[in-house]
Amino acid sequence: MTLEIITADALAPLKHGFFTRRGGASSGVYAGLNCGTGSQDQSELVLINRDRVASAMGVDGDRLCGVHQVHSPDVVVVDGPINGENPKADALVTATPGLALTILTADCQPVLFADHTAGVIGAAHAGWKGAVNGVLEATVDAMFALGATRENITAIIGPTISQRAYEVGPEFFDSFMDENPDYGRFFAGGEGDRPMFDLPSFGLHRLREAGVGHAEWVRHCTYSDPDRFYSYRRSCHRKESDYGRLISAIRL
């Protein structure tokens, strides 16, 4: 089965993509292209899936670079294949051709960055916690340190949970309001004291505040399209034993 890859015109001609779950070797709750080594899926099937992604990106498997994601604002600068365990961080940047930077998600925002002129790229995992703590701004700063200019950076948010599917509790809302009262505009509707949070709009806001020249969301909701996307929240609502992880990648 052919892989399905969502791309953004603004990142062209760089090789990149937000991979859906279609075209993979996994089965059961992981059916499709599960690329999460941290899942309970069969490791050999995850490796087959990741090899298919590497082939689609035009790189060897060892040049598919990722991090051990921990919802932090930490960024790793990559200049070659990562040997051994992936470092704990939530974003990567590079100016080295031939490396594919990857992020795994299952509702959180995968964000791909590029400064075409400077030849600098980045990839970030931005759930609500990482976004609040500054992982997007830290990625832009790390790209700047490699020679990028903020106004030349393009940032694309891939498939993520949308506001209509993201109900949160009063403590969540209060923590955002304590951070900045203006953040109230990212909450709407809901029942009682449980509003709906607009994660991609919040991500776009933080990217624009960081000074990037262009930012957009591909407008795909992970929760609402089970045939194409894995979703942590949907798996919880269905009381499933585990969930697959989507992969997003970009290379120079």
Is residue 55 assigned to a domain? yes
Domain containing 36 equals: 5-162+198-251
Q: Average pLDDT per run of 10 along the chain, which is 252 residues long? A: 94 98 97 94 96 97 96 97 93 98 98 98 97 97 98 98 97 95 94 94 98 98 98 96 97 96
Is residue 171 assigned to a domain? no
240's tokens: 């499933």
Short-list 164, 207, 168, CA closest to 184: 168
Is residue 30 assigned to a domain? yes
pLDDT of residue 183: 97
Short-list 54, 110, 112, 101, CA closest to 78: 101
CATH code of the domain in which 40 resides: 3.60.140.10
Q: What is the model's pTM?
A: 0.97
pLDDT of residue 168: 97
Domains: count for the chain: 1
Q: What is the CA radius of gyration of the chain?
A: 17
Is residue 182 assigned to a domain? no
DSSP codes of every residue in 205-249: HHHHHTT-SEEEE---BSTT-TTT---HHHHHHTT-S----EEEE
Is residue 18 assigned to a domain? yes
Helix ranges, the chain (H): 43-57, 128-133, 135-145, 170-179, 199-209, 232-237
Is residue 233 assigned to a domain? yes
pLDDT of residue 22: 97
39: DSSP letter: S
- C-alpha count within 13 angstroms, C-beta hemisphere, residue 54: 18
216's tokens: 């957009």
- State which H helix or E strand residue 190 sits in: strand 187-191
Is residue 176 assigned to a domain? no
Is residue 187 assigned to a domain? no
pLDDT of residue 243: 97
